[in-house]
């Protein structure tokens, strides 16, 4: 599921649209739809964390006349500025390819001169634009997740036994197989 649309921005093109009439969507399909949205949200959140980390490193490097030392890098990457520290991504599936973010492709391999304020500012601006696009896309995913969750709650309230089916097969995270969750 790639978040890129034809105009170079992020969109929900490859995440199925919500149904016109929820009641026509079978419960297993509703669960699958919600799980796919959740998986996509995990990827987007991961990309956003990478972008934030890259911005933080660029900004920290621009304040030094030398490369960051390990302890400085640890401090920069560990501090979110909100008093909370960054945490690792729990669901890592290294064998799966993630869609590329073409606008950022060169940002991870390009070495910038930290003393070139124009070059650093341009790189940070590109990253901030990508972060805004990812945030907008993530917000749209959350809206769809909320809609699907609300529909699941309505169905489970109407038929509590339907909720028990979700516990019939252990769910250990992301699944592309389409089994019930």
Task: For 48-86, write each residue's pLDDT tens digit.
Answer: 888 888 888 888 888 877 778 888 888 888 865 555 555
Give the residue among 70, 82, 71, 76 at the shortest CA–CA distance from 57: 76
Q: Could you tell me the two tokens for 41? A: 């949200």
* Residues 37, 18: Cα–Cα separation, whole Å: 10
Helices 70-78 and 27-61 meet at what angle, rounded to 10?
140
Q: Cα–Cα distance between 137 and 126 in angstroms, integer?
A: 17
pLDDT tens per residue across span 154-170: 999 999 888 887 666 55
User: So what's the pLDDT on residue 54?
Assistant: 87
For the chain, domain boundaries: 41-167
**Confidence (pTM):** 0.68
Percent of the chain with pLDDT over 70: 64
The pLDDT score that the predictor gives to residue 116 is 84
Return d(Cα 57, Cα 77) in angstroms, integer: 7
């Amino acid at each position: 599921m790639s978040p890129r649309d034809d105009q170079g921005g992020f969109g929900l093109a490859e995440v199925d649209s919500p149904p016109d009439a929820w009641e026509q969507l079978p419960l297993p399909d509703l669960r699958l739809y919600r799980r796919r949205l959740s998986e996509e949200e995990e990827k987007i959140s991961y990309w956003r964390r990478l972008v934030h980390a890259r911005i933080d490193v660029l900004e920290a490097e621009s304040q030094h006349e030398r490369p960051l030392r390990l302890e400085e890098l640890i401090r920069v990457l560990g501090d979110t500025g909100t008093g909370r520290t960054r945490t690792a991504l729990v669901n890592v599936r290294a064998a799966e390819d993630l869609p590329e973010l073409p606008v950022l492709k060169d940002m991870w391999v390009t070495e910038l001169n930290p003393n070139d304020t124009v070059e650093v500012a341009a790189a940070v601006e590109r990253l901030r634009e990508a972060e805004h696009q990812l945030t907008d896309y993530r917000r749209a995913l959350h809206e769809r997740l909320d809609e699907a969750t609300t529909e699941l709650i309505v169905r489970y309230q109407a038929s509590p036994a339907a909720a028990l089916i979700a516990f019939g097969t252990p769910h250990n995270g992301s699944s592309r197989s389409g089994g019930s969750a």
